[in-house]
Amino acid sequence: MRLADLTTFRVGGPAADVTVAATAEELRAFVRSHPLRAAQSPAELAQGPAGPDVLFVAGGSNLLVADEGFAGPVCVIRTSGLEWEEADGGDLVRVTAQAGHTWDALVAETVERGLAGLEALSGIPGSVGASPVQNVGAYGAEVADTLVSVRVLDRMTGEERELAPEELGFGYRTSLLKRSAAQLGAVRYVVLAVTFALRAGGAQGGAPVRYGQLAGALGVELGARVEVAAVREAVLALRASKGMVLDPADHDTWSAGSFFTNPILPLPVDEDGGRAAPESVLPAGAPAYPARDPLTGEPDPAVVKTSAAWLIDHAGFTKGYALPGGRAGLSAKHTLALTNRGGAAAADILDLAVHIRDGVERAYGIRMEPEPNLVGLTL
């Protein structure tokens, strides 16, 4: 099997040892047959796994896989299914989705049922199981806003657990699930299912609109509540205008969405013991946003978040930018998306990512970090 066939970048070499888990029991069986051994020393931990670990693939929308492929076992997660339960006298509805269920199919079903909470996350590619790992977010909403629990299987202990939001340590595009994988160099917690609590009555008004561009598209003020179907329609139109809705016929959508996360920068301590203004660390004109502390969930006064798209554009990498040869390039619609223009290899996309990252760092002294998981590659 070619991993290119499983990823939205449509790049990636061969995998010989592939298991398709179509049910939750098949997924549990695979995970339990591929445990993760705890590192015995700091040196061993620093080295990472002795050999190729397991690669878990579901929607494939957050992966950039090397042209050489992957030598270890691959688990393709194809579990699906939704369970519904009324709560709080019917004012809330809980939905539990299996990890392999397509994310946008879940969102579409909640909108059809008139449930509020996920509508601003319409059109995001990938699976439900991946959504809490990255704390997926868009247009002022995040998965953390409505998530109740995540059922995981711990590869280190073999224990199946239900993790609450306070245990998951959500932050901007991060969670315990993501941080533990980065620390170990391998996935520790495999998501089996995710439960969300959504508000009934979405036909009268969904979650408050928190994003200026979305409010403008809807013709309302920030904070207004708009019928969930109208929000979904507006979000899908906005995402399509940026090449962020997958279309097999459109190479401009052959991407992993936003390739770089918005940088979060520490604010220096000023002479009075407080924190300096964001302007002290940001380029002139760069936008500044609050960033949430993943442990407390509160805005962190010690840091400021800025826009990766702004940095890329103002460093001279405009929409459609490409290196000589041009098999990979920035989207013609959105500077945050690196795209496979057709026939690109993983090496082409990586070269472009390095070129843009280094160019931004030369221009502004800010080093951007990739959002997709790199398999067999280093940026």
Q: How far apart are CA 373 and CA 20, in angstroms?
A: 20
User: Do 267 and 369 reside in the same domain of the chain?
Assistant: yes
- Of the three residues 241, 275, 296, the one that is the final residue of a domain is 241
User: Do 180 and 230 reside in the same domain of the chain?
Assistant: yes
pLDDT at 45: 52
- Does residue 371 carry a catalytic annotation? yes
Number of domain units in the chain: 3
| Residue segments in the chain with a per-residue pLDDT below the cut of 70 | 38-52, 294-295, 297
Catalytic residue among 61, 122, 175, 258: 258
Q: How far apart are CA 55 and CA 218, in angstroms?
A: 41
Tokens standing for 247?
């279309």
User: Do 87 and 226 reside in the same domain of the chain?
Assistant: yes
Query: 69: closest CA among 163, 157, 5, 117?
Result: 5
User: Do 312 and 363 reside in the same domain of the chain?
Assistant: yes
pLDDT at 51: 54
pLDDT at 40: 46
Number of neighbours of residue 275 by Cβ within 10 angstroms: 17
User: Do 73 and 99 reside in the same domain of the chain?
Assistant: no
- Of the three residues 241, 261, 293, the one that is the final residue of a domain is 241
User: Do 230 and 93 reside in the same domain of the chain?
Assistant: yes
Residue 42 belongs to a domain = yes
Task: Give the predicted TM-score (pTM) of the model.
Answer: 0.90
Q: How far apart are CA 146 and CA 117, in angstroms?
A: 6
pLDDT at 135: 95
CATH number at residue 363: 3.90.78.10
CA angle 214, 226, 236 (to 5 degrees): 45
pLDDT at 265: 96
Tokens standing for 84?
């519904």
- Does residue 173 carry a catalytic annotation? yes
- Helix, strand, coil percent content, the chain, rounded in steps of 5: 30, 25, 45
Catalytic residue among 10, 155, 173, 341: 173
Query: 78: closest CA among 101, 94, 56, 96?
Result: 101
Task: Give residue-wise pLDDT tens across range 284-297.
Answer: 999 999 988 766 76
User: Do 218 and 96 reside in the same domain of the chain?
Assistant: yes
User: Do 136 and 211 reside in the same domain of the chain?
Assistant: yes
pLDDT at 41: 47
Q: How far apart are CA 260 and CA 374, in angstroms?
A: 12
CATH number at residue 148: 3.30.465.10
pLDDT at 47: 56
Task: Judge contact between 254 and 243, C-beta under 8 A.
Answer: no
Give the three-class secondary structure for 86.
strand
Query: 61: closest CA among 118, 128, 111?
Result: 128
Residue 358 belongs to a domain = yes
pLDDT at 292: 80
User: Do 130 and 194 reside in the same domain of the chain?
Assistant: yes
Which residue range forms the structural domain that includes residue 371? 251-375
- Of the three residues 29, 51, 77, the one that is the final residue of a domain is 77
Residue 325 belongs to a domain = yes
User: Do 355 and 303 reside in the same domain of the chain?
Assistant: yes
CATH number at residue 51: 3.30.43.10
Helices (H), the chain: 24-32, 42-47, 103-112, 131-134, 165-168, 176-184, 212-218, 228-241, 308-314, 346-364
Per DSSP, 337 falls in state E
Residue 105 belongs to a domain = yes
- Does residue 258 carry a catalytic annotation? yes
Residue 167 belongs to a domain = yes
Residue 246 belongs to a domain = no
Q: How many residues does the chain have?
A: 379
Return the HEC string of 64-79.
EECCCCECCCEEEECC
User: Do 65 and 104 reside in the same domain of the chain?
Assistant: no
Residue 99 belongs to a domain = yes
User: Do 72 and 216 reside in the same domain of the chain?
Assistant: no
Sign of CA dihedral 213, 308, 245, 129: negative
